[in-house]
Amino acid sequence: MIKIFVFISFPFLLFSQDTLLPLVILDDVIISEERNGFSVEDFINYVKKDTTFYKGFKHMRYFQHNFKGELNIYNKQNKKIGSLIKHGTHFSDNLNAYIIYDTLYSSGKIFKRNGEYKYYTPKAFDEVFFPSDTIPVSLNINKKEINKGSDSQNMRDAKTIGFSIGTDNVEQNKGGIKKKLAIFDIDMQQYYNYLISDTLYNGYPCYIFSVTVKEDLSKKKKEKALVRKVISFFDKENLNVLFREYKFIYKNWLLDLDISVIVNMDYVNDKHVPMEINYNGFWNVIFFKSEKVDFSLSLSDYSID
């Protein structure tokens, strides 16, 4: 058993397989190599390469469940100008899946006259959560799959950012974003605190791994940190991600964004699945119309034998 004490004011460097990573260990966290089979260094490397979060979303598509989704769009004065509500059932025979709605309601400025969405965000969420046609489903997974396949480039980038913390493996490099996503790299470590603690979440003992921007940074330096916060709760029993929160803030001549995402996971018959997803975001890309949207999705009644 390894017991590690670190003074918060004097974080030290630990070696991971890729970089020197400064860590602060809170609450006298005890990590048992005998039980968990990893050291502190291994744990950080695991965080970077974790696929359990992605597998949970694979389960979401693979297993039948009910869903309730609501999306709201706001103008620059923060007044709601459109809403979209979708309730229904995601059916799956473990080979293919499709959706049947029992509630489909929209109001305000959601659609163009030709029936297409006026905004990108609802279109993107449909691609992720509400496929318009039958889709193949599988539980097979490999890390390359996140960035391969028939998905759009934007979707592949979103999957990479969402399921691979700290990666710079995105196809686009607009405004230096590719580099700024690599929050574990040596030249990005000056902007962040990397903290490990523990908690009890929904009755599950969890490790908390948090990456947050240093509060004492100058405004100019803080603006270089696109990823402002990533907090993950890892089930101590199996290291599945049970909770994740993202915060992105960035602004330059090309791109202006402020996005928060919170995902709550749980187990249904021992399968790891998403239960609540909340998104609140503003983005403005040059040559495109700005969008301010919040989106909530609750998932229930999974059919898992």
Q: How do the domains of the chain map onto residue ranges?
A: 2-303
What is the number of other CB atoms lying within 10 angstroms of the CB of residue 292?
22
Distances (CA, A) of 29 to 4, 5, 36, 55: 7, 8, 14, 27
What average pLDDT does range 121-128 have in this prediction? 88
What is the number of other CB atoms lying within 10 angstroms of the CB of residue 16?
19
What are the beta bridge partners of residue 204?
201
- 225: region left, alpha or beta (phi > 0 left; psi from -120 to 50 alpha): beta
What is the reported pLDDT for 150?
52
**Where is average pLDDT lowest: 121-125, 147-151, 177-181, 207-211?**
147-151
Q: What pLDDT, in 10s, does the model give residues 8-61? A: 222 222 222 333 333 333 333 344 333 444 444 555 576 677 788 888 999 999
**Where is average pLDDT lowest: 1-5, 106-110, 246-250?**
1-5
**Where would I find the beta strands (DSSP E) of 112-254?**
135-136, 192-201, 204-213, 227-235, 241-251
What average pLDDT does range 74-86 have in this prediction? 94
What average pLDDT does range 248-265 have in this prediction? 85
Distances (CA, A) of 149 to 15, 109, 123, 152: 34, 33, 19, 9
The residue that leads in pLDDT, 154 or 82, is 82
pTM strictly above 0.95: no
Helix (H) or strand (E) holding 145: none
What is the reported pLDDT for 254?
76
Q: What pLDDT, in 10s, does the model give residues 208-221? A: 888 888 888 888 88
What percent of the chain is modeled with pLDDT above 70? 71
Banded model confidence at residue 207, pLDDT cuts 50, 70, 90: confident
What is the reported pLDDT for 90?
97
What average pLDDT does range 218-241 have in this prediction? 86
Handedness of CA 215, 217, 222, 227 (dihedral sign): negative
